[in-house]
Structure formats: C-alpha cells, structure tokens
C-alpha cells in the first residue's frame, strides 16, 4: 500500500485516528476507504513532474540538439527525420530505462529498510546488489554469455543471495541488525568471488565486466526499457499489496501478530519480490549504487512520514536516476560518463551526511 493512500482502518477492522492533515476518502458504497495525506500527494506529484521535465530535457540535448519546441512532435513521430530518430530511437528509451530502474531500486530500498528497520538496510549495503552483480559477472566471464543470459544471471544471483541472507539472519524472526550484519558479510564474500573471477578472465572479458560493474545507461534501447518496465508491472503490485503489512511489522512482530499480520509470510513475499526487482534493475543497467539507499530516506524526509514510503521512494528513485543520467550524459565531461559514477558521488555524500547527523543526534 502506498504512503499516499493508506487504509483508514487497521487489519482488525477497528478505526484508527487519522494522521494530522489526512483526509478520508470513501467509495460510494463505503466498501473501500483511504486516508489521503495532502503533503505526501504534493511531494509525489512534484517528483513525477521533475522526472517528466527531466525526460523532456534529456531527449532534447546531445551532440545533435533537438529544440524543446520540436520535442513533442518528435515524440509523436512527426517533424524532421533526424529529430524523430534521436528522440524516439536513441534518447527516449534511455530516459525511460533510467526512470524504470530508479523506481525499481527505490521500491526495493524501501522494502529492505522496512524489513531491517535500519536506514542502512538497502540492497547496496546488505549484499543483494552484490549477489546480482556476481551472478551477472559469472555469466559474462565463465559462460561468455550475451545480454539475455547475463540478465538471468543477475536475477538468479540476487534471489539466491536473498535466500542465503534470510536463512542466516532468521532466528525467531528476522532482526534488523542481524540482517544488516549478515548481509555485509555475504557482500564481502561475493566481492572476493568477483575479484577472483576477474583475475582469471581474459583481459577483454575482464574489461567488459568491469565496465558493466560501474553501472551505465549508455546504449540502452527499447528492449532494456521494456524489460525493466515489465519487471515493475509484475513485481511492484506484489510489493504494494503487502505494503500496509510492512508498516505493521515496523511496529514490532508482536504488535503485527496482534493485528493479524503473519510476519514470516510477509517477510518472505516482500523479500523475494524486492530481490527480484533489484535483480531486474541490475540486469538492465548494472549495479548502480546508492539510489536504493538514498531514495527511501529522502522520500520519508520530504513527506514527513515515519513508515514505509513505497510510492514516494519509487518516484524519488526515478527522479534521482534520470537527473543523474542527464548530468552524466551532458554536464560532467565532454564524453558520456557511466551514470554509476554520478550516483556514487551523490549517494556517498548523502551517506556521509546521514552518518554525521546520526552521530550528532547521538551526541546531543
């Protein structure tokens, strides 16, 4: 369930007091009711607008510039032939891929942070990104596989890592600190496996794998855009369906059970769907770092909500990645940089700031 539309009643059916500023909406028959938080709605609409405007600018700029006034016609297939080619055939699928990958990573990051109840509990930190990347690198270096098999390797690596981390962290339920610590350990082991594979590979294959490991949207076309959006269409509804149960789990497993929520089944469903979504994003763009870490936290701060922010995290991730790709494509260097370089700078700076504020809060 999104943070914009939250059920007006709890799992037990008893009414809950509405958050300050929230407004109740009910269907004509009264069978469905939601609480609409105006601030969250405004933030989500603003992030969607930022993503849309950035997409328009992204399809306009480049070595062959397309005037902004000509972009709408080019998007619909009219106008100059070169305008249509560069907008529809080159830049639009790349921008849509960036938005889809960013949304997928934002949702996955929100799920992992909710399950671990830890700001650092993102796929980047607790090993799921490393698992997907290791699966893809193994497909590249051992099998010499093409893009399809590499994508399947990334998804399989992420899912296997998720299962291993969950089983190792499970003891009378999944505790947040244990999930993070186990994930960090598994991530370190997977990094050593990738390093070993790189040392045993041919120079050309190793170079290709290293470029893929940075994370990039260069040369992404309609096939990649379709793949990530299909993954979102299949997996995001599953995660949103258990979103409200994730909110209850954040109150503690005992409280969640008292509200009729099955903690273990919710954790397994959310973890599996979020891991597959992470694998799908990495399969398309490589292991782009820090978007899954920063997007849910920034969304929470903007919306001022204390629980899972799935809709806000998705829109924040989309806006962050499409903006980062625009910077990587045009503003950072004469040649295009991998977008993973830009997100690493942004995300690393955010992580330092987050740790500093936590440290300062602890000193207060």
User: How confident is residue 360, by pLDDT bands cut at 50, 70 and 90?
Assistant: confident
Residue 319, pLDDT > 70, answer yes
Distance CA 166, CA 121 (A): 13
Q: Please, how many CA atoms are within 13 Å of residue 243, restricted to the half-sphere of its CB?
A: 24
pLDDT value, residue 235: 92
What average pLDDT does the segment 20-31 reach?
Answer: 59
User: How confident is residue 18, by pLDDT bands cut at 50, 70 and 90?
Assistant: very low
Outline where DSSP puts E strands in the chain: 5-7, 23-26, 33-36
pLDDT value, residue 282: 86
pLDDT value, residue 103: 95
∠284-285-287 over CA atoms, to 5°?
115
User: How confident is residue 362, by pLDDT bands cut at 50, 70 and 90?
Assistant: low
What average pLDDT does the segment 12-18 reach?
Answer: 40
Residue 241, pLDDT > 70, answer yes
The overall average pLDDT reported for the chain is 79
The residue with greater pLDDT, 320 or 184, is: 320
Q: Identify the CA nearest to 320 among candidates 295, 341, 302, 300.
A: 295
User: How confident is residue 331, by pLDDT bands cut at 50, 70 and 90?
Assistant: low
pLDDT value, residue 154: 82
Residue 352 has which token pair?
Answer: 């330092």
SS3 state of residue 3 = coil
What's the burial of 204, exposed, middle or buried (CB within 10 Å: 0-12/13-18/19+)? exposed
The residue with tokens 């939601």 is 34
pLDDT value, residue 168: 80
Q: Please, how many CA atoms are within 13 Å of residue 33, restricted to the half-sphere of its CB?
A: 15
The b/e string for 57-71 (b: 16+ C-beta within 10 A; e otherwise) is: ebbbeeeeebeeebb
User: How confident is residue 8, by pLDDT bands cut at 50, 70 and 90?
Assistant: very low
pTM for this predicted structure: 0.82
Q: What is the DSSP string of 288-338?
A: --SHHHHHHHHHHHHHT-SS--HHHHHHHHHHHHHHHHHIIIIIS-SSPPP
User: How confident is residue 34, by pLDDT bands cut at 50, 70 and 90?
Assistant: low
User: How confident is residue 361, by pLDDT bands cut at 50, 70 and 90?
Assistant: low
**Domains of the chain as residue ranges with CATH:** 89-359 (1.10.3470.10)
- pLDDT > 90: what percent of the chain? 15
User: How confident is residue 94, by pLDDT bands cut at 50, 70 and 90?
Assistant: very high
pLDDT value, residue 28: 65
Distance CA 270, CA 308 (A): 12
């Amino acid at each position: 369930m999104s943070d914009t539309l939250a059920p007006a009643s709890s799992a037990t059916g008893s009414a809950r007091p509405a958050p300050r500023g929230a407004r109740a909406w009910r269907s004509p028959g009264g069978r469905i009711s939601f609480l609409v938080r105006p601030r969250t709605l405004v933030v989500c609409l603003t992030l969607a607008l930022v993503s849309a405007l950035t997409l328009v600018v992204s399809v306009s700029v480049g070595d062959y510039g397309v005037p902004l006034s000509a972009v709408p016609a080019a998007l619909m297939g009219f106008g100059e032939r070169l305008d249509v080619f560069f907008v529809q055939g080159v830049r639009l699928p790349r921008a849509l891929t960036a938005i889809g990958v960013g949304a997928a990573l934002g949702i996955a990051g929100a799920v992992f942070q909710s399950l671990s109840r830890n700001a650092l509990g993102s796929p980047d930190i607790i090993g799921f990104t490393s698992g997907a990347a290791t699966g893809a690198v193994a497909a590249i270096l051992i099998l010499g596989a093409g893009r399809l098999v590499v994508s399947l390797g990334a998804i399989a690596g992420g899912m296997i890592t998720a299962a291993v981390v969950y089983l190792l962290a499970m003891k009378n339920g999944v505790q947040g600190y244990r999930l993070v610590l186990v994930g960090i350990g598994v991530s370190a082991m997977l990094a050593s496996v990738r390093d070993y594979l790189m040392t045993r590979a041919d120079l050309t294959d190793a170079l290709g794998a290293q470029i893929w490991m940075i994370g990039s949207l260069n040369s992404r076309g309609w096939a990649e855009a379709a793949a990530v959006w299909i993954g979102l269409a299949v997996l995001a509804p599953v995660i949103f369906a258990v979103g409200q149960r994730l909110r209850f789990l954040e109150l503690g497993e005992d409280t969640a059970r008292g509200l009729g929520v099955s903690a273990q089944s919710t954790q397994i469903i959310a973890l599996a769907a979020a891991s597959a979504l992470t694998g799908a994003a990495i399969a398309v763009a490589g292991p782009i770092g820090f978007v899954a870490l920063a997007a849910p936290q920034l969304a929470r701060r903007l919306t001022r909500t204390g629980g899972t922010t799935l809709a806000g995290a998705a829109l924040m991730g989309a806006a962050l990645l499409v903006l980062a790709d625009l910077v990587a494509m045009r503003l950072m260097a004469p040649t295009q940089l991998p977008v993973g370089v830009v997100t690493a700078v942004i995300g690393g700076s955010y992580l330092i700031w987050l740790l500093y504020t936590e440290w300062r809060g602890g000193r207060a």
